[in-house]
Amino acid sequence: MKAPTFKLRKMNDDEEVSLQSFFGKPIMLTFWASWCPDSQKDLHMKDQFYRSIQSDQLVFLTINVTGREGEKGAGEEFINKQNYTFPVLFDEGTKTYDAYRCMGVPTTVLINKEHEVVATFGDKATFTEILKHVGHIL
């Protein structure tokens, strides 16, 4: 399936980030919510991974699903408290989350250079499983 396009606001500034701006580059998207223990564990491992990769190898984006948060601003507060360095985008409501047919959080989506979704991992996937598939899109 072709990756659904989006234009989402980036945390810490009002810049909008669009999927089209990364055409020709492999992408890892992670949809998450701050209250979810699986998301918390996943983001911790993803932050370590993000710090170890070169940004020209893989576009790494996390998307806070604001429509799944209990309180406005909870996602931003969580990220700031954890001192994560990866890019965070905000899906206002669940529009992008729904477009990618996510069934829960966290959900990781791998997109190849042609912007085709090649793998989707739900909340029960291990980080090791996800990493095995990253090599297929690089």
How does pLDDT run across 31-75, given as a tens digit for each residue? Answer: 999 999 999 999 999 999 999 998 789 999 999 999 999 898 999
Q: Are 86 and 50 in contact (CB under 8 A)?
A: yes
Task: Domain of residue 129: give its range.
Answer: 28-137
The domain total for the chain is 1
Helix ranges (DSSP H) in 83-126: 95-99
Please give the Cα distance from 132 to 86 (Å, whole number). Answer: 20
Q: What is the CATH number of the domain that holds 65?
A: 3.40.30.10
Q: What are phi and psi of 70, to 5 degrees?
A: -75, -35
User: Does 118 fall in a domain?
Assistant: yes
User: Does 49 fall in a domain?
Assistant: yes
83-98 average pLDDT score:
96
User: Does 16 fall in a domain?
Assistant: no
Report pTM: 0.96
Please give the Cα distance from 47 to 27 (Å, whole number). Answer: 15
